[in-house]
A and B are shown apart, each in its own frame.
Chain A
């Protein structure tokens, strides 16, 4: 029997607010354990949560970008379970009344097809702390708790089960991440855990309406792992079904080293989260005007930008795709084009030179690139006006990376200017002709290639700095005249 794959993704994204969801502690990553905590995020007796307005703004911004319906009134709820990384033994989350519902994300697939994946809901919640076990979880004699992350704002976005393959899941995540990073609400860093993904996957007989039994996979910390884990699961489930086995509804952990998923230890009892409305927070009412303000300030999203790069700048779709991988890169490219309006040439330089040095999706690295867009434009202008050759330009680019100087400064200091002075070149050409009578003879006998040898001589004599086009023109003139 042929099976169809059904995948839904839940993504937890840390919001890039300066402070935590319900207290004023900083959210920055990597501080010494428990130094970014206060009585509130440590869940001390008597403390109360106060909602971070910026977190709501970021959530709303994202919901609008995903074309969700923003609920005019939403509530926070307490989700209860005992775990030492959670100071209160409940998490303040949203349950029945999430911030937003019913949106979608358009995902462009490699083959050129576009898939619209529904987004079921988007809600806000607080992150939990981190346990550090002395040894493995099973053998540790003690575990340490770091509450620095406890209370960091999280946005959970649940897709509809409309993703049809592991590749689509990875494409969805890439598009999702790009939107968040464009919006400036998340730093997109999966390795540091600021973007975390759980996947639900089931198989059903081709054409069947009813969904199969779903399995949840956790611990997916990169796009590649999401795809690999899902590929593994598709095979595991297909094989199991082929053997006539039933799929067990369970949570499985992805083991990236082993390249497989394994069942999490069976829980002693099923979780009953005992949700109820958080009595320490008043219901959240989003003013329409505020939501409209956020909508009006939405930046151009990656997909729209990609399309514009093709239609307005005439870039090939491949280039447009590469250049819109991050907001910083797209902005880099556009400002370079503003100063040097030859889009394809700029694209070539960004893709082949800049991206050899910097990862396209590293917002910070791109934004802080040693060669600014305006310096790149300056370099391209030097090629364009014939001051330097394309080959020399690559050398200049390397030096610019190291010294953060303007191209012109390097060219001037190092004497890399092409010799384009006709008089100076004429002398070199005449010297070459005088020194190579055989080549001159050959040319006159009809061996036009002999001119090329003369041009090479001149270029060599100029130390590579002569303008090759001018040299060949001069050589031809001299040979035909005399």
Chain B
């Protein structure tokens, strides 16, 4: 069975009775069984629940009344979304045996739409990382080259979709954790507007920056996967009450007359020349489809990375304070309360997480708050204003997703080198605006390259439309890695 079939084709086949959710689910489970030992895309595989959900979907399709466009669709869900009765680890030892008593809103909406959860996808511990090498359990490998990383932190779901181990996936993007692995794995990754998808039940890394979003084999799938979970949630005070449009409705309207801005600051010395060439070629394709192109400037961009590494660790140091061995998760016994908590946290958190907790604790401490956290918030405002100014002139911003392609495991031991991977993705997180990564070519070595399209708040339809137009004019998204 072809396990690189987009969701919109799969569900059409379900409706025609050519195949069934159970048949497809079994095929994915078989492939996971066979290949995930190598790939490491999953932390937990929920075969039993998946079979039950698929069987229920079978009955609905047979009755001619599927629940919607995701009914019977097998997906991988990053292991930061809480799942009732299913271990949810956030890639950390400290939550290794944690079983949530409730479902994240994203998970319950998927269940209500009939989607089939295959399992919980691997990630860098607490979503802190760009390579999925920092999961407490195992690394995830890039399906295009097992010696390379799939990107991160949502490397598990990205590798699963790229490798044919899931039809779709959900991750989170705090500094690029959806778009960067999508680019590295040659799939579509969408980070919607902050508040468009509920964060309720998402184990927090940096609350003001965490964006849930989908991975798909093509833009249509990304639109369907977004539509299945988007919308206001009374359990998340930061979720947006705006109605959810049908994201597939106007996909094919094209880009004629759409104004594209190419930011000077996203083409930097030291970036991979093959990426620059591929992205500039992609801009020409869009131009050929009728879009107008102009240069724009986002001058605060060079400061965004440093600012991010103040704000995100600050929020993380607070969000991760609750893991103390008192209530749930790991507990390492100690002489007294403080000793128990210290030992638990020392044993439960990995090096990168500890680094960020210390960084965040420092920047929030008395006497340093204004110099670091306060200042970072001001720069964050400048980043937002840059985008506001640019969107006064253009409809969308076109840029590379990453400055380099997938690197080899162990290649970026220096944390700062790792952080630099997110230099093009962080600004859209800081501004909370929608951005997508779509495949736009391959290096000579056969590694995927990602094109990033960034839009105004809530302009997911515009972002998706341009991405779709580009995708339809090219065939990068039809290439899949050979895995055996």
Q: Which residues of A contact B (CB under 8 A)?
A: 39, 42-51, 78, 80, 82, 84, 87-90, 143, 145, 272, 274-276, 279-282
Contact = CB atoms under 8 A, between A and B. Distances in A.
Given A80-B318, A90-B318, A272 B365 contact: yes
B366 interface: yes
Contacts of A87: 322, 327
Interface string B347-363: 00000000000000100
B456 interface: no
B12 interface: no
Contact of B203 (A46, A84, A143): A46
A78 B95 CA distance: 23
Contact of A89 (B102, B324, B365): B324
A385 B102 CA distance: 69
Contacts of B202: 46
B100 A44 contact: yes
Given A45-B322, A48-B237, A274-B366, 16 more contacts: A39-B100, A42-B327, A43-B327, A45-B328, A46-B201, A46-B202, A48-B200, A48-B235, A51-B237, A82-B338, A143-B337, A145-B327, A272-B365, A274-B361, A274-B364, A280-B199
Contacts of B337: 84, 143
Given A279-B207, A279-B208, A280-B207, A89 B237 contact: no
Contacts of A281: 237-238
B236 A82 contact: no
28 contacts: A39-B101, A44-B328, A45-B98, A45-B100, A45-B204, A46-B82, A46-B88, A48-B199, A48-B200, A50-B234, A78-B318, A80-B321, A82-B321, A82-B338, A88-B321, A88-B322, A89-B324, A145-B326, A272-B365, A272-B366, A274-B317, A274-B318, A276-B315, A280-B204, A280-B237, A281-B237, A282-B237, A282-B238
Residue of B80, B100, B104 contacting most chain A CB atoms (<10 Å):
B100
A427 to B, nearest CB: 81
Residue of B81, B104, B204, B338 contacting most chain A CB atoms (<10 Å):
B204
A82 B80 CA distance: 24
In order of increasing CB-CB distance, the 4 nearest A-B pairs are A89-B321, A279-B207, A274-B364, A279-B208
Interface in B70-92: 80-82, 88, 90
B467 interface: no
A428 B159 CA distance: 111
A95 to B, nearest CB: 11
B82 A45 contact: yes
A275 to B, nearest CB: 8
Interface in B220-240: 234-238
B278 to A, nearest CB: 36
A42 B235 CA distance: 15
B373 interface: yes
Contacts of B82: 44-46
B200 A46 contact: yes
Residue of A43, A45, A272 contacting most chain B CB atoms (<10 Å):
A45
B315 A279 contact: yes
A145 B327 CA distance: 9
Nearest to A145: B326
Contacts of B322: 43, 45, 87-89
A128 to B, nearest CB: 13
Contacts of A39: 100-102
Given A39-B100, A84-B326, A45 B365 contact: no
B314 interface: yes
Interface in B331-386: 337-338, 341, 361, 364-366, 369, 373
Given A84-B337, A276-B373, A46 B100 contact: yes
B358 to A, nearest CB: 13
Nearest to B366: A272
Nearest to A143: B337
Contact of A82 (B104, B318, B341): B341
Contacts of B95: 45
B237 A50 contact: yes
Contacts of B366: 272, 274
B237 to A, nearest CB: 5
Contacts of A276: 314-315, 318, 364, 369, 373
Interface in B289-332: 314-315, 317-318, 321-324, 326-328
Contacts of B318: 78, 80, 90, 274, 276
Contact of B90 (A45, A47, A275): A45
A43 B101 CA distance: 12
A80 B315 CA distance: 12
Contacts of B328: 44-45
A143 B98 CA distance: 22
B365 A46 contact: no
Contacts of A279: 206-208, 238, 315
A279 B238 CA distance: 9
Interface in B232-255: 234-238
A275 B101 CA distance: 30
Residue of A42, A276, A282 contacting most chain B CB atoms (<10 Å):
A276
A97 to B, nearest CB: 14
Contacts of B80: 46
Contacts of B315: 276, 279
Contacts of A84: 324, 326, 337
Nearest to A84: B326
A45 B88 contact: yes
Contacts of B326: 84, 145
Contacts of B81: 46
Contacts of A89: 321-322, 324
A33 B363 CA distance: 38
A349 to B, nearest CB: 52
A80 B321 CA distance: 8
B67 to A, nearest CB: 25
B324 A274 contact: no
Nearest to A39: B102
